[in-house]
Chains A and B, each alone.
Chain A
Amino acid sequence: MAEAYIFDAVRTPRGKGKVDGSLHQVQPITLLTTLLGAIKERNHIEDTSVIDDVITGVVSPVGEQGAVIARTAVLEAGFSDTITGTQMNRFCASGLESFNTAAAHVKAGMYDMVIAGGVESMSRVPMGSDGGALFTSPEIVAKHKVVPQGISADLIATLYGFSREEADKFAVESQKRAAAARKSGKFNKSIIAIKDILGNVILDFDEFIREETTMETLAQLKPSFEMMGQMGGLNALALQRYPQLEKINHIHHAGNSSGIVDGAALLLIGSKEAGERLGLKPRAKVHSWATVGADPTIMLTAPAPSTKKLLKRNGMNISDIDLFEVNEAFAVVPMLYMQELGVDHSQVNVNGGSIALGHPLGATGAIILGTLLDELERQDKNLGLATLCVGGGMGVSTIIERV
């Protein structure tokens, strides 16, 4: 089978996903066209028709993110109209799923060059805008005990005994690392500034980071899902699946959960030959990936099993991996991952994660893969693994290898 290589990785800065966020005024299509333009320019692709397809993850593909935004972006970016576009949804891992799918096409020899990533403008198309039977149908909610993910995260904390203090400590560290990375320019290699039509910069840095975060400031925050869980019968529904627990301990709040932000990311993936034709130097090889499902009520526990499945299939050990990106959907997600796999925090999310930087749902998978690649190069390490927990109780892990 052919190999798939990563030639480039770009992303937008992450803007606060609210009306006062800098990217609120920017259309999601613009986030994508900006990145497409950057890929073309950075890689000196004169004739874009060498690209077969553009695959973007979008979790709420409705409104202005609907109608196959990838194809819309191809046209709007001035790329060749021979390039197709498609959109993918694996909830929070959509960006990584798009990447894996692109790599699969290349490995199968069906595509030569493909662009994959994702976009989510959460300030403009709010989370949940796409409804879905999983969250609305009484039949499904009742039978599968589907609860909002914040309650699932608190359920993990209760079941595995993570305290609020531990989660807050993790969050403070995420902020510290993200702030340091931003300050030292570690993100500059991949970040493409978003500009207005006059060429003025609207945003060129990750604006969600709260550098001043301490244990004390976090201690002020009220648990976000306690009221929701108790008033709405949602805790009770979750406990019908986990009756061995007396109650749910609500430890997550705005400060130790991922931030709601706007953002996009794209990667350029292709075969060795296609890269050579364009005179591109591969930065890494797509090593392997795996997906796995788990209980939908607790929902967010599948990253570790997906990694285990992947390592087992590859005949690898966890110690073979040099660096990890584990999406910080909630503090307990990476905490549980590290505990289950025996990985030290010094190897995980070394530049902070979604708690500090934000989690633009459809894009995050592609963002953390890019961050991982940049860091592998910086530390001159070989193997990196990116993983995310996924709504509906799924997990995805992908390993990349520097070449």
Chain B
Amino acid sequence: MIKYSVENGIATLSWNMEGPMNVMNDQSMEAFRENMLKAINDSSVKGIIIASEKDTFFAGADLKWLEHSLNHPLPVKEQFAKQTQLNTMFRTFETCGKPIAAAINGHALGGGYEITLMSHYRVAINNPKTQIGLPEAKIGLFPGAGGTQRLPRLIGIEAATPFLLEGKAVAPAEALKMGLIHELADNKEDMLAKCRKWIEANPKAMQPWDTEKKGKVIYNDAYKIPGGNIQSPKIVMMLTPGTALMMDKTKGNYPAQLAIMKCLYEGLQVTIEEGLLIEARYFTQLMQRPEPRGMIRTLFLAMGEANKGVARPKNVPPSNIQKVGVLGAGLMGAGIAYVTALAGMQVVLKDVSIEAAEKGKDYSRDLLKKSMSKGKMTPEKAEGILNLIKTTDQVADLAGCDYIIEAVFENRDLKYKVTQETEAVLAPTAVFGSNTSTLPITGLAEASVRPENFIGIHFFSPVDKMPLVEVIMGKKTNDYALALTIDYILKIRKTPIVVNDSRGFYTSRCFGTYTMEGLEMLAEGVAPALIEHAGEMAGMPVGALDVADAVAIDLAYKVLSQTYKDNGLTLEEAEKAGKMSKGELVVKLFVEKLGRFGKKNKAGYYEYPEGGKKYLWPGLAELYPVKKEQPTAEYLKKRFLHRQAIEAVRCLEEGVLNSPTDGDVGSILAWGFPPYTGGIFSYIDMVGVATFVKELDEFTAQYGDRFKATDRLREMAKNGETFFGVKKEEAVLA
């Protein structure tokens, strides 16, 4: 695990764990302790270098081990003892008197960087790809091995906060500039030589915050943190706005961020020993919370698996997609063409005219221009990417494509027509993917002569930014088509989830419940601002009315009309028969009577003044008078999240979703279901299935069957089951 060697009186502890990376877990920390003590206690050793045998230095916590410890949390007392032990150990090392240098040959992240922070000197190989930082906050945790105490003491409170609160990481050159490391090296030999040279020159070393008294290294009570101590006027001035900004970003939903602020505020006013104790307490408390558990499970582990192609059928040999045809050069088609060319594949971008296709290509031109102006791309490379996109109005040009993505208007007849004319020029091995967001794939596949090669590939807008692609299996879609589709999605570096055919599939269907619930609230007389703020406070990226405007109200109207039409009703008939919900009637009114289509015509639930900030349309108050008694934001938050979650449960039970894990990943990546929950099914576990069912019953009584719990959920509640096999009492913090 650690290679120990002594040369010229300098001990080198070189990390070399089994597995691809050096990580922090119980075993590795025990080995570290033993080896460090060996060096410290050996009187012939005058200094210590901590290094790595691998390409990277140290990757941080072993997340599988971390997930295990989160799923099987230690009793508070034991967890705290464990944290304290780790912190005491690091503190013992940094006060041992012997110089300790860290040789950062590659990534030093999280616990890995905390090991180097405990060292007295840090030398890193100047590789711009190396990342140095503390990413814990991104997965709902915080640096719990002294990071919240050492980094601000080293570089200052203000400078340390992006690393701590946002999980920032930087390359070595930047790390040097910011004071995270001391020196850059050209290569491994140079790095180790610099470490040795520093040790030779500094036979005794201690941290900047320490001092020596009677031969012992102790904390310097008069230590001045760079940029000011907590109670200095400058920092005091920043504390209220700093907390407010954090609260604005997190809405109070992410316990790690607040805990970090508390570690800074409390820990930096006392000795580092006390600060480490404070950090250990907050870390222990955080480990009992459901948020980090869900975030690690979904954002790291599940997403990692998905990105490795866990959903790809193993029986299909690897494919080599070279040429992709994109039908329709509208917003979606243009975006798809861009990401495909960016990944190095040839693209045939077809529309009804060359002009229309070129207009679609302009999208790539614009984005590449932006990348160039930011210095992220050379003109040559941009030119190369553009050359990969061939525009056309001829079906014949699609010949030779390995993969087709149809992104024409959401019109069944049109989709039938392009499917048939395209298939006519394709090889039988080509796969035809339809980027429909609502039309059932099995139905669309009826137009195909090879329905087994027909699949749904649902992108999100804007394509270049949205990380998820929802793959929809038609009834006849085979493993080959699925494998190729996943190969393609991984090539464009997006995350796939695979679902089965149904109206709205998984993502559109569940996302639609969020906006529709907002419209229901509006029609009930809930204050529009309250609807919007409650959505944001629940952790949704934007308010329900806001996103409904962005998606376009007339689009919602079209989907609604199609849905009723498929059930043999016009909207008029549906309204007369009392079948339309209050929220659906809002959509109907806005499109048919008011002509307010959303952001696209600068008139929706919001007003969009020229050059000004948008604001809620004052006309809402006349149409839907605000009730005197308003619900609390807490209540509405729950209503929004529960409504989406019960729809996801239905998707799972109906077989649209294959697993709660897919549901979690899709919910966060597709429509921004709050990440702190760990996703939509983790959310139910977090609430507790029994509580969830009970609250659904209350909502059902109040608002109708759209909230109705399924029988299976009731059974789960009765049996104490959960979606992720964590016992309820563990999942819910009292």
Binding site for B on A (CB under 8 A): 128, 131, 135-139, 141-142, 145-148, 228, 231-234, 236-237, 239-240, 243-247
Give the distance in Å from the alpha carbon of A240 to the alpha carbon of B247 in the complex. 9
Contact of B244 with A233 in the complex, beta carbons under 8 Å: yes
Smallest Cβ distance from B232 to chain A, in angstroms? 10
Leading 9 A-B pairs by shortest Cβ distance: A232-B241, A138-B261, A243-B533, A233-B248, A233-B245, A236-B248, A246-B529, A233-B244, A141-B243
Pairs across A and B, CB under 8 Å, 30 listed: A136-B230, A136-B236, A136-B240, A137-B239, A138-B242, A138-B243, A138-B246, A138-B258, A138-B261, A139-B258, A141-B240, A141-B247, A142-B246, A142-B247, A145-B247, A148-B240, A228-B241, A232-B240, A232-B241, A232-B244, A233-B244, A236-B244, A237-B244, A237-B247, A240-B533, A240-B633, A243-B537, A244-B530, A246-B528, A246-B615
Question: Which residues of chain B are within 8 angstroms of A231 by Cβ–Cβ distance?
Answer: 241
Give the distance in Å from the alpha carbon of A228 to the alpha carbon of B240 in the complex. 11
Binding site for A on B (CB under 8 A): 230-231, 236, 239-249, 251-252, 258, 261-262, 264-265, 527-530, 532-534, 537, 615-616, 630, 633
Contact of B241 with A138 in the complex, beta carbons under 8 Å: no
Contact of B533 with A239 in the complex, beta carbons under 8 Å: yes
Contact of A236 with B258 in the complex, beta carbons under 8 Å: no
Q: Name A146's closest neighbour in chain B (CB-CB).
A: B240
Question: Which residues of chain A are within 8 angstroms of B532 by Cβ–Cβ distance?
Answer: 246
Q: Name A134's closest neighbour in chain B (CB-CB).
A: B240
Interface secondary structure of B, over-half rule:
helix
Give the distance in Å from the alpha carbon of A269 to the alpha carbon of B245 in the complex. 48
Question: Which residues of chain B are within 8 angstroms of A247 by Cβ–Cβ distance?
Answer: 615
Give the distance in Å from the alpha carbon of A293 to the alpha carbon of B517 in the complex. 37
Contact of B529 with A244 in the complex, beta carbons under 8 Å: yes
Question: Which residues of chain A are within 8 angstroms of B230 by Cβ–Cβ distance?
Answer: 136
Q: Name A229's closest neighbour in chain B (CB-CB).
A: B244
The number of residue pairs between A and B whose CB atoms lie closer than 8 Å in the complex comes to 91
Question: Which residues of chain A are within 8 angstroms of B533 by Cβ–Cβ distance?
Answer: 239-240, 243-244
Give the distance in Å from the alpha carbon of A145 to the alpha carbon of B252 in the complex. 11
Q: Which residue of A234, A239, A240 contacts B240 across the interface (Cβ within 8 Å)?
A: A234
Question: Which residues of chain B are within 8 angstroms of A245 by Cβ–Cβ distance?
Answer: 529
Smallest Cβ distance from A345 to chain B, in angstroms? 29
Give the distance in Å from the alpha carbon of A243 to the alpha carbon of B239 in the complex. 23
Question: Which residues of chain A are within 8 angstroms of B246 by Cβ–Cβ distance?
Answer: 138, 142, 233
Contact of A236 with B247 in the complex, beta carbons under 8 Å: yes
Contact of B262 with A138 in the complex, beta carbons under 8 Å: yes
Contact of A243 with B633 in the complex, beta carbons under 8 Å: yes
Q: Name B636's closest neighbour in chain A (CB-CB).
A: A243
Contact of B527 with A244 in the complex, beta carbons under 8 Å: yes
Question: Which residues of chain A are within 8 angstroms of B529 by Cβ–Cβ distance?
Answer: 243-246
Smallest Cβ distance from B456 to chain A, in angstroms? 38
Question: Which residues of chain A are within 8 angstroms of B242 by Cβ–Cβ distance?
Answer: 138
Give the distance in Å from the alpha carbon of A232 to the alpha carbon of B265 in the complex. 18
Question: Which residues of chain B are within 8 angstroms of A243 by Cβ–Cβ distance?
Answer: 529-530, 533-534, 537, 633
Give the distance in Å from the alpha carbon of A305 to the alpha carbon of B532 in the complex. 31
Smallest Cβ distance from A163 to chain B, in angstroms? 16
Question: Which residues of chain A are within 8 angstroms of B231 by Cβ–Cβ distance?
Answer: 131, 136
Contact of A138 with B248 in the complex, beta carbons under 8 Å: no
Smallest Cβ distance from A249 to chain B, in angstroms? 11
Give the distance in Å from the alpha carbon of A147 to the alpha carbon of B258 in the complex. 17
Give the distance in Å from the alpha carbon of A131 to the alpha carbon of B537 in the complex. 29
Smallest Cβ distance from A89 to chain B, in angstroms? 18
Question: Which residues of chain A are within 8 angstroms of B243 by Cβ–Cβ distance?
Answer: 138, 141-142, 237
Give the distance in Å from the alpha carbon of A37 to the alpha carbon of B430 in the complex. 100
Smallest Cβ distance from B275 to chain A, in angstroms? 15
Question: Which residues of chain B are within 8 angstroms of A233 by Cβ–Cβ distance?
Answer: 241, 244-249
Smallest Cβ distance from B578 to chain A, in angstroms? 31
Smallest Cβ distance from B249 to chain A, in angstroms? 8
Give the distance in Å from the alpha carbon of A246 to the alpha carbon of B606 in the complex. 11
Known contacts A228-B241, A233-B245, A243-B530; 12 further A-B pairs (Cβ under 8 A): A128-B236, A136-B230, A136-B239, A139-B258, A141-B239, A141-B240, A142-B252, A233-B246, A240-B252, A240-B537, A243-B529, A243-B537
Give the distance in Å from the alpha carbon of A245 to the alpha carbon of B242 in the complex. 23
Give the distance in Å from the alpha carbon of A137 to the alpha carbon of B230 in the complex. 10
Give the distance in Å from the alpha carbon of A63 to the alpha carbon of B616 in the complex. 49
Contact of A139 with B240 in the complex, beta carbons under 8 Å: no
Contact of B258 with A142 in the complex, beta carbons under 8 Å: yes
Q: Looking at B530, B532, B615, which has the most chain A CB atoms within 10 Å of its CB?
A: B530
Smallest Cβ distance from A248 to chain B, in angstroms? 11
Question: Which residues of chain B are within 8 angstroms of A246 by Cβ–Cβ distance?
Answer: 528-529, 532, 615-616
Q: Name B630's closest neighbour in chain A (CB-CB).
A: A244
Smallest Cβ distance from A254 to chain B, in angstroms? 20
Give the distance in Å from the alpha carbon of A359 to the alpha carbon of B16 in the complex. 67
Give the distance in Å from the alpha carbon of A393 to the alpha carbon of B331 in the complex. 52
